[in-house]
């Protein structure tokens, strides 16, 4: 049997539900050897029967892999599964596999039985891009054709707006709007005359997500009795309407507002959307303690939570698990039909930038550096390095002021071959650099002075890489 999986999509959410049923009931309802596994309607005959280990159903990887057209080699210690150029490396009793040299963590380590390597059914299915359904003791797997790849860079709002949804700066009606450093005032600057005016103060703790939609300006503000309110204002700063009283990480796309909302329990977040023209909000079926990062394309919604990367339709249906990384995903961008994402941790300088196809294949390491706040513009991926302060002996908070490693804004070509540093500082008083690419083609960033608690905006002309305050 010959089955092409080059364009297959990753495992849908129903697999997770299925495997919950399998792993919770397999020991009570069936012996592992009682399961019959089918691929596209044909039974797969194993010379070593599946096993149940730690509430996981394990299956021989060679039989399923070769049935889908993948090739398997074994040198006595390492197995390599080659699927259209993507290579998975496995070692016996080792929980970490290598996917194109990128480490992936499994909850059950591969084991050797009668010279056959057994892996968890879930992991094998995800790797091979198979959808799985169960009917009693029968497990049905099928290779699915993916939806077309996304080729349109997801705009935040529209082309008049900024290209980064979480930014505190935007161009609207030929004026530059930004949050005044050290305050919660929104400032408007005429791009031609330079005349500056204030739209007033909003909230008492923060303003973010300035966006444009249908010639209207929208943003989040919070603080005091306001819990992440998402509003529309006019050019004078008057609030025209409130779309949501609780909408974190809000993004406008194609007439819909996508956002995180606090769980009813008060801990964690749920992913919602609602129409920009009115109507009830829709829960998209995802709830997490740690929240989500997400980007939107003309076809899909891509969501990252901790180390898992999911793809789904705009209404939350057809959820597919693309990949699960050992480290937390901290930023993500859609670049020419490819997903670029970075992993890392707030308290560590380790991290990396990866590239993956929108069907979950072709995982590649682009840059071995802890990066966040990524922007794609004109053939470059822009990002700010994430750095951790160094303290003296004693507690992790002291003694004395922190000493900061170099902080920088860089840009890297999507293939990782070329890297340029645009901004770099060794000033211990400057904690972070927050970059944004605006529709005028310039790089805007602001830096936070740790000692004086001051912020400042700087613009970099990307044609000359010259800074202007």
String of DSSP letters for 406-445 = PEEEEEE-TTSS-EEEEEEE--TTEEEEEEEE-TTS-EEE
Residue of 184, 177, 258 lying closest to 221 (CA atoms): 184
Instruction: Report pLDDT for 120.
Output: 81
Does 184 lie in the same domain as 134? no
Pairwise CA distance, residues 383 & 385, whole Å: 7
pLDDT value at residue 9: 30
Residue 195 has pLDDT above 60, yes or no: yes
Cα first-last separation, the chain:
65
Average pLDDT estimate for 61-90: 86
Chain Cα centroid distance, residue 10: 16
- Note the pTM of the prediction, 2 decimals: 0.72
Same structural domain, 40 and 114: yes
Q: pLDDT category, 162, cuts 50, 70, 90?
A: very low
**Among candidate residues 321, 350, 367, the one where a domain is terminated:** 321
Domain that residue 381 falls in: 337-469
- pLDDT surpassing 50 at residue 25: no
User: C-alpha angle 90/43/89, rounded to 5°?
Assistant: 10
* Burial class of residue 165 in the structure, from the number of CB atoms within 10 Å of its CB (0-12 exposed, 13-18 middle, 19+ buried): buried
**Domain at 168, CATH number:** 2.120.10.30
Same domain, 407 and 459: yes
Predicted pLDDT at 389:
67
- Residues 357 and 405 occupy one common structural domain: yes
Number of domains in the chain: 3
Same domain, 106 and 209: no
Strand, helix or coil at 92? coil
Q: What is the mean pLDDT of residues 190-194?
A: 83
- Sheet of 116-120, strand order: 51-53, 56-60, 116-120, 111-113
Is residue 366's pLDDT more than 90? yes
Q: Which residue has the tokens 């004078």?
A: 236
State whether 127 and 244 are in the same domain: no
Question: Is residue 5 included in any domain, yes or no?
Answer: no
pLDDT at 67 over 90: no
Which of 108, 124, 143 marks a domain boundary?
143
d(CA 154, CA 310): 16
Q: Could you tell me if residue 332 is inside a domain?
A: no
- The domain boundary, picked from 85, 118, 143, lies at 143
Same-domain status, 114 and 180: no
Does residue 428 come out as left (phi exceeding 0), alpha (psi in the -120 to 50 range) or beta? alpha
Same domain, 63 and 164: no
- Percentages (nearest 5) of helix, strand, coil residues in the chain: 5, 50, 40
Is 405 within a domain? yes
- Residue 116 belongs to domain with CATH number: 3.30.457.10
pLDDT > 90? residue 31: no
Considering the domain architecture, whether residues 91 and 157 belong to the same structural domain is answered as: no
Contact yes or no for 250/230 (Cβ under 8 A): yes
User: Residue 151 — pLDDT band, cuts 50, 70, 90?
Assistant: very low
């Amino acid at each position: 049997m010959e089955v092409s999986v080059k364009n297959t999509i990753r495992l849908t959410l129903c697999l997770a539900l299925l495997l919950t049923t399998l792993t919770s009931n397999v020991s009570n309802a069936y012996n592992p050897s009682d399961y019959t596994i089918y691929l596209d309607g044909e039974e797969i005959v194993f010379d070593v029967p599946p096993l149940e280990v730690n509430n996981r159903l394990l299956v021989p990887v060679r039989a399923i892999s070769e049935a889908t057209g993948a090739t398997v080699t074994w040198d006595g210690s390492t197995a390599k599964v080659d699927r259209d150029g993507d290579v998975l490396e496995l070692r016996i009793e080792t929980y970490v596999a290598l996917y194109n040299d990128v480490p992936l963590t499994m909850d059950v380590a591969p084991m050797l039985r009668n010279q056959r390597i057994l892996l968890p059914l879930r992991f094998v299915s995800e790797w091979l891009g198979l959808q799985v359904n169960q009917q009693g003791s029968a497990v049905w797997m099928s290779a699915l054709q993916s939806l077309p790849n996304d080729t349109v860079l997801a705009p935040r709002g529209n082309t008049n707006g900024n290209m980064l949804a979480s930014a505190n700066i935007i161009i609207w009606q030929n004026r530059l709007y930004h949050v005044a450093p050290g305050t919660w005032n929104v400032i408007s600057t005429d791009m031609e005359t330079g005349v500056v005016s204030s739209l007033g103060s909003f909230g008492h703790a923060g303003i973010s997500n300035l966006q444009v939609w249908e010639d209207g300006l929208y943003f989040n503000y919070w603080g005091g009795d306001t819990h992440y309110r998402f509003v529309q204002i006019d050019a004078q700063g008057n609030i025209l309407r409130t779309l949501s009283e609780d909408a974190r990480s809000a993004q406008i796309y194609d007439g819909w507002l996508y956002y995180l909302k606090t769980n009813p329990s008060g801990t964690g977040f749920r992913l919602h959307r609602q129409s920009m023209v009115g109507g009830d909000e829709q829960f998209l079926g995802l709830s997490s303690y740690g929240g989500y990062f997400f980007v939107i394309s003309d076809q899909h919604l891509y969501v990252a939570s901790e180390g898992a990367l999911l793809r789904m339709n705009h209404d939350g249906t057809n959820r597919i698990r693309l990949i699960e990384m050992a480290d937390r995903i901290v930023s993500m961008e859609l670049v020419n039909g490819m997903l670029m994402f970075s992993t890392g941790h707030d308290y560590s300088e380790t991290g990396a930038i990866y590239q993956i196809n929108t069907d979950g294949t072709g995982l590649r390491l682009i840059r071995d550096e802890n990066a966040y706040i990524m922007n794609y513009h004109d053939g470059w991926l822009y990002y700010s390095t994430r750095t951790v302060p160094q303290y003296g002996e004693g507690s992790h908070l002291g003694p004395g002021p922190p000493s900061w490693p170099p902080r920088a804004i860089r840009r890297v070509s999507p293939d990782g071959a070329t890297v340029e540093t645009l901004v770099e500082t060794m000033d211990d008083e400057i904690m972070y650099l927050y970059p944004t690419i605006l529709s005028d083609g310039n790089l805007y960033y602001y830096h936070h002075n740790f000692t004086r608690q001051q912020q400042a905006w700087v613009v970099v002309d990307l044609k000359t890489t010259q800074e202007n305050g």
